[in-house]
Structure 1
Amino acid sequence: MVAIFLIGGLVIAVAFLAGSVPAPQAPSAAMSALGPSAQPSSRPAPQPVCSPGSGPTEIAPVPPGVRARVDAAWSRIEGWLAESLTTEVVWNPPAADAAISRAQRAAGAAFPPDLVASLRRHDGVRAAGFTFPPFYAPMSTGEIGADAGKLCAATAGWDGSHIPFARDSGGWYLYLDSSGAVGEHAPGGPGDAAAGSLADLLDRTADMLEGRRTDRYFPSIGADGVLGWRLR
């Protein structure tokens, strides 16, 4: 009789424990309980889209304040160059809106307002004479469109929303990203961030030329009378 009671009690205890412990969930159910952010995505990360020749033809309006800021910075840069260099800097004429529109379409992305304002002031520079620090010459609308296509075709990971606007002779570029910030592109991969915007870069360059700002580089005039930049 005692044995019967012991066996009955054991059965009741096992049944109680089995009812109080939930059955293990399948992995997908457990992750769903933690919310969508806890579940690993099965989708691959989106890759930058590179589509030269399909950019917009309509030019973004340039706010008066942006135009005034860009023109003021260029005026300061031009003034310093005229007073300090023995060799004249030869600028390309201002870009017509038709040329800017063609360049946008060729590059595959819309130009930020400060780039539009800058191109309407100078459509790049001829030969040597002016560079953004340390060695980047402003590009013309034709060069921007052509080089954006080359970078899309030849550079793995080049983001199609990037717009090159200044370059050296060895495959380095300054570009504007989709937010309008300035970045540096090194051959084969990204470089460093350069400035918050093209307008910021122009202001900073003018400050460096006039000695109002201490930076990694400072202006240096070569024996040929051409502007260069030296590392501090």
Structure 2
Amino acid sequence: MSCQDPELEAQIKAQAFTPEEAKAAGCDPITWHDGSDTAEAPVPDVISSPEPDLDHFSPTPPPSSRTPDPAISTRVDQAWARIERWLGEHASATLRKLKFPAGPEALALWEESHKRRLPDDLYASYMHHDGADGNLGDGFQLPPSYGLLELSDIDHVNSGKCQDLVMDGNREAADPEHGRWHGSLLAIGDTSTGKELFVEPRTGRVGESAWNEDLSYDGPMGWPSYLALLEALADSLERGTALRDWYPVVTPGCELRWAEEPADSAPTGCAGGPRPSPTPTPTVEPTPDKPTPEQVRASGCRPARGTPVVRTPGPEVTAQINAVWRRVERWLARKAPATYKLLPPPARPRDIAKVEAAMGLRFPDDLRASLLRHNGAGSWGFGPAPFYELMSAKYVYSDWKMLCDIVLSGSGEGVGYWWDGHLIPFAAAHDGGNLFIDTRTGKTGEYFNEEGLTFEGDVVWPSYLALLKATARSLETGRPIRGWRPTVRKGELDWESTR
């Protein structure tokens, strides 16, 4: 990769942790890959958990579950019972947003795959609720506005925090006691603005983390244990007293929030039960009809398995894509270095071929050439406005397959307006949507899980290349792209609305 700033690239590589230092910090190490052009500078890629191969694997027996300390479990059970009872009486909308338990199998799998145990109070809490609905669990908030994260979010948060830690190369920052992060920490809450609530597993203490700041265990939300936090939370709700600096209040929509002053009064009509059972009875929710063979064929979601064929994009398209990427790389390196660091190396042509064969589709040359430049953009990385990140080749397939499986799990009536197997997702949003290329027209469109497919309006571009060019032009000029202007926050590219 080249951004015409070799000094910056050399600095990034020189300051990053060595593999040994990364592992000592509890984080995945970095490997340095040469780009497809050997004259270009090396491209960093943070190694994450291996992605599943596209080939079929035989299932392995699940790991055995364990029982946390009975005394701790009992206290966690009692704390959650008090919290749930109060929510049912005063803030039922929040009660219904608490998710169902993680389950002993999921907890055992997490501990087995990470080769370490969760603290018993956190383990027991996940057996009550695996986080909450909303963006980063904000359906249930710990004071002042930490959304309750689910089990899988531990890895999501840790990946981003570790990536910053390893790339910055600050050895003193990799200290779970006095540093800025450590890979052993377990995120339990997130504000979505760069602040996390976490559990330090060796001592069980609860602390706070903020971007570019040292960890804090003695701040407003520092606690000797997660259990102590839950019990104090239950006390605050039942008594109406402050939890450290914040009072529980209920919104007109019957949701729990936290404020610096107690509320004068509470809304009425906010009593209610928990969310419905996850196992509906046939009389309540009848099993939908299966799609007909004609609907399955029309969906494009069950193609005949073909042989992977490695294809090379045309030289003219490749030249145009590389030219646009050089503009993007140059701008990111100078203006948004945190986003620049996330750019991964090229996809392997064989991987693209396997994805095409599995999907029964042929990628347009502009998308293929882009993947051969950068295999996506990394987690929370570069992407089109307003909040998309480019997908890797395997992410394209996994998202396509998931949506195809969903649309064919019902009666098949959603084919064509909720999802369609002839579409190639290429950019993901963290709210349940994506941008796609329609292989029948070459145009882009948008998918959102609550609304389905959009084939017209601001989300439509004549091609992937046209969208990438417009994005690069917006970065360089600062002019909005269909109502969204590029901005930089803490070294990361963001988009702000001009409407």
> 1:63-142 counterparts in 2 under 5 A?
63-87=314-338, 88-142=340-394
8 A contact 1:96–1:120 mirrored in 2:
yes
Structure 1 pair 173–167 and aligned structure 2 pair: CA distance change class (3 A): same
The one of 146, 149, 156 aligned to 2:398: 146
The one of 419, 439, 447 aligned to 1:185: 447
- Measured against aligned partners, the alpha-carbon deviations of 1:78-115 in whole angstroms (never above 9, x if no partner) come to 11001102424322210111110111123331111111
Verify: 1:230 aligned to 2:492, yes or no: no
List alignment gaps of at least 5 residues for structure 2: 1-293, 408-413
Give 1:183's aligned amino acid.
Answer: G
Please state how far the C-alpha of 1:134 moved relative to its aligned partner.
Answer: 0.8
Structure 1 pair 53–219 and aligned structure 2 pair: CA distance change class (3 A): farther
Give 2:392's aligned amino acid.
Answer: S
Question: Partners in 2 of 1:139 and 1:210 — Cα distance?
Answer: 23
Partner of residue 186, structure 2: none
Question: Partners in 1 of 2:471 and 2:488 — Cα distance?
Answer: 15
The one of 425, 446, 470 aligned to 1:164: 425
Question: Who wins on radius of gyration, i.e. which is larger?
Answer: 1
Question: Partners in 2 of 1:129 and 1:175 — Cα distance?
Answer: 17
8 A contact 1:219–1:229 mirrored in 2:
yes
Query: Match of 1:194, SS?
Result: coil
Question: Partners in 1 of 2:488 and 2:321 — Cα distance?
Answer: 24
Q: What TM-score do you get using the length of structure 2 for normalisation?
A: 0.36
Verify: 1:196 aligned to 2:458, yes or no: no
Partner of residue 51, structure 1: 302
Deviates more, 1:157-166 or 1:198-207: 157-166
Please state how far the C-alpha of 1:128 moved relative to its aligned partner.
Answer: 2.5
Deviates more, 1:197-206 or 1:97-106: 97-106
Question: Partners in 2 of 1:165 and 1:56 — Cα distance?
Answer: 22
Question: Partners in 2 of 1:225 and 1:52 — Cα distance?
Answer: 43
Moved over 6 A (4+): none
Q: Which has the higher helix share?
A: 1
Structure 1 pair 57–68 and aligned structure 2 pair: CA distance change class (3 A): same
List alignment gaps of at least 5 residues for structure 1: 1-43
- Measured against aligned partners, the alpha-carbon deviations of 1:45-82 in whole angstroms (never above 9, x if no partner) come to 99432226736622444221100111111110111001
Give 2:485's aligned amino acid.
Answer: F
Question: Partners in 2 of 1:139 and 1:108 — Cα distance?
Answer: 18
Partner of residue 128, structure 2: none
- Measured against aligned partners, the alpha-carbon deviations of 1:132-184 in whole angstroms (never above 9, x if no partner) come to 11111011111111111001011332221111111011211011111221111
Question: Partners in 2 of 1:198 and 1:60 — Cα distance?
Answer: 18
CA RMSD of aligned residues (A): 2.2
Deviates more, 1:135-144 or 1:54-63: 54-63
Structure 1 pair 185–55 and aligned structure 2 pair: CA distance change class (3 A): farther
8 A contact 2:343–2:382 mirrored in 1:
no
Q: What TM-score do you get using the length of structure 1 for normalisation?
A: 0.74
Structure 1 pair 53–171 and aligned structure 2 pair: CA distance change class (3 A): farther
